[in-house]
Amino acid sequence: MARPGRQEPLRFLDVPQLTALPKRILIGRALRSDKLGETLLPKRIALPVFASDALSSVAYAPEEILLTLSLAGASAIRFSWQIGVVVAVVMLAVVTSYRQNVHAYPSGGGDYEVATVNHGPNSGLVVASALMVDYVLTVAVSTTSGVANVVSAVPVLRGHEVALSVTLVLLLMGMNLRGVRESGTAFAVPTYAFMAGVIGMVGFGLFRHLVLGDALRAESAGFHLAPTPGNGALTGFALVFLLLRAFSSGCAALTGVEAISNGVPAFREPKSRNAASTLLMMAGIAVVMFMGIIYLAHLTGTQMAEDPARQLLGAPAGYHQKTALAQISAAVFAGFTPGFYFIAAVTGLILVLAANTAFNGFPVLGSILARDRYLPRQLRTRGDRLAFSNGIVLLAAVAVVFVTAFGADPNRLIQLYIVGVFVSFNMSQSGMIRHWTRLLRTEADAGQRRRMRRSRLINGFGLVMTAAVLVVVLVTKIGHAWIAIAAMAVLFAMMKAIRRHYDRVAGELAPAAEPEPAGAAAPTRIHAVVLVSRLHRPALRALAYAELARPHVLEAVTAGVDAADTAALREEWERRGIGVPLKVLDSPYREITAPVLEYVRGLRGSSPHTVVSVYIPEYVVGRWYEHLLHNQSALRLKGRLLFKPGVMVTSVPWQSESSARRRPARGRSAPGDVRRGEPRRRTVPSGAAVEIPAPPVSTDKDAVT
């Protein structure tokens, strides 16, 4: 036996042990539950964790406005800054509204909780479906946009966008599996570098233009932006429609605002105040960067085209259109290449890391939905690092599907993006209005009533703004948005079905309302059946174990697959004088499972109050390839018997030498060890010791087959 404190070397391929070390290297050591408080975030870390999505959207939202306006040609580009102002106003209105939410509902349910409490469970599920779709698209859009910006700076990577995006999703998954605090600390530096880079670029661009009088020109400023065929010079209703569509595209800058309200539990105390302060900081920084980029795009003459080959007249042959931010930074930092590459690097990083917002929001929402029995219970529990690991892995898997299906094209993915978030915005704001109205009915304090009326007015203004955006989005983007709406509908139906299942199971498992008489729930008799194929050690152990349970009836059962084998088993059974009767089931089609199931069904039919307890000997092996050679019949039998009412299934394992983790020291036996060739002793219910000679172990057949 091994000395205390000394680890014996592994004697076989132990998959859990072999994977434990890589898991610890990638994820880190497991944390105790009482360490949860140490993972809470200060505001300086919470800002990059929860606001990276909203902050990063300023890198592609202006580009979406320019792309939409390009459909009408160069004459429509002049409306870009007016649209930017309206988007900024909507953002400030939404952020101000959400500051009310985090104070009123600090538990982390966010929009889902607000809608559920104030509008009912179905409305809550609509919001949950919208948020889950939005989170998945956040990961897909962020990673693909980040890759697009990197490819703009490093064209040699063109053509590998899907592989790069999928790799980034998996890396983000691994980082988040290490825990919220560690991932936030790792992502803080790139987020702050992006903020400093963009604000610095805007400031430097204004300095060059206003102070030095330099002419800042983007590479596309000299091209002629022609309208797409069929559009011509849009006027009247067509132009208004196009401007509304550009506005809805620019509202992608609002995505991620709701993440802080869903992540309030991750903040340090006072949670609500810290979350509200983080919301305000995020809004101020995002509006400054968004409007700065819009202004620089107008100043540098940056032009974007959905189809550069047709719209960008005068572009050289083989011209690859760069992103709007890449063109602006190249114009601002003309003659200073490090500045251009710094902006490209931090933009690519922040766009990728913006997915971290979803990796923090989706698992928390999934845990709350699992608690309410709308999603599988596995999503409710925390992993080794006190993060909701199952939710993180699920989010990454679905995002990879979207990235692959849409060819890692951020412009196609963004079209699906805005619907879900604005559905949740509207449900949340209307829910908050009902919340304040309900409280006003019972509040007597004049000061509190003034505060509640002010909060209701703020949420009402937010509702008007977000409802207008949602209508615009649905009208102008229905050709793309139907995919997101269909995904929301499927999720809604799936969660309702899961809830019905859990409710049905809970009803079946609930004890009776009236106390049952003593013994009413217990079976009247136990009929034990030991399945045997040959008289070897696993079968003898199963017989001994079944007899120790003292059933009312005990018998051994075998399927007569081969007449010669069955005759040999009978002869050996009688020769050893085993007191348990052996029953041979007829098997004309050489099956094992079907005759056993039929026999058990017959036992239950003849005596419905009798519980049939089936003992299945199993041969336990230690090497992965040995599992393919043993216990296949046992697995099939267990899988079928588990669905039979009134039938209990017990596995009786026999451990092979290859399954032993450590070898006993020479000359000594491990507890419970039986030396090969020696008789095994067992105690029967009467208390008399009976010796069962151990036959040679056969390893060429399953314990059952």
Query: What CATH code is carried by the domain that includes residue 648?
Result: 3.40.50
Tally helices (H) and strands (E) across the chain: 23, 9
The H or E element spanning position 494 is helix 446-509
What pLDDT is recorded for position 631? 55
Residue 698: pLDDT band by 50, 70, 90 thresholds?
very low
Residues 568 and 483 in one domain: no
Angle subtended at Cα 91 by Cα 52 and Cα 324, rounded to the nearest 5 degrees: 60
Residues 191 and 128 in one domain: yes
Domain boundary among 454, 472, 503: 503
DSSP state of 106: T
Residue 611: pLDDT band by 50, 70, 90 thresholds?
very high
For residue 376, being part of any structural domain is answered with yes
For residue 705, being part of any structural domain is answered with no
Residues 485 and 555 in one domain: no
Domain boundary among 440, 469, 503: 503
For residue 33, being part of any structural domain is answered with no
For residue 509, being part of any structural domain is answered with no
Residues 535 and 455 in one domain: no
In degrees to the nearest 10, what's the CA dihedral of 567, 569, 574, 578?
-160
What pLDDT is recorded for position 181? 53
Residues 153 and 60 in one domain: yes
Residues 447 and 530 in one domain: no
For residue 38, being part of any structural domain is answered with no
Residues 454 and 548 in one domain: no
For residue 339, being part of any structural domain is answered with yes
What pLDDT is recorded for position 669? 43
Helix ranges, 510-562 (H): 537-548
CATH number of the domain within which 139 lies: 1.20.1740.10
Domain boundary among 454, 471, 503: 503
- Does the N-terminal peptide bond of residue 538 adopt cis geometry, omega within 30 degrees of 0? no
In the predicted model, what is the mean pLDDT of the chain? Answer: 79
Residues 550 and 483 in one domain: no
For residue 535, being part of any structural domain is answered with yes
Displacement of CA 596 from its chain's centroid (Å): 42
561 CB-contact burial (10 Å; exposed 0-12 / middle 13-18 / buried 19+): middle
Residues 441 and 547 in one domain: no
For residue 700, being part of any structural domain is answered with no
pLDDT at residue 516 above 90? no
| Domain count of the fold of the chain | 2
What b-and-e string marks burial along 323-360, b requiring 16 or more CB atoms within 10 Å of the CB? bbbbbbbbbbbbeeeebbebbbbbbbbbbbbbbbbbbb
Q: pLDDT of 36-66, one tens digit each? A: 555 577 888 888 877 777 888 888 788 888 8
Residues 495 and 566 in one domain: no
What pLDDT is recorded for position 512? 58
Q: pLDDT of 436-480, one tens digit each? A: 999 999 888 888 899 999 989 988 988 888 888 888 878 877 777
pLDDT at residue 497 above 70? yes
Q: What is the mean pLDDT of residues 331-349?
A: 88
Q: In which domain, by residue range, is 61 found? A: 45-503
Residues 475 and 532 in one domain: no
Residues 228 and 369 in one domain: yes
pLDDT at residue 104 above 90? no
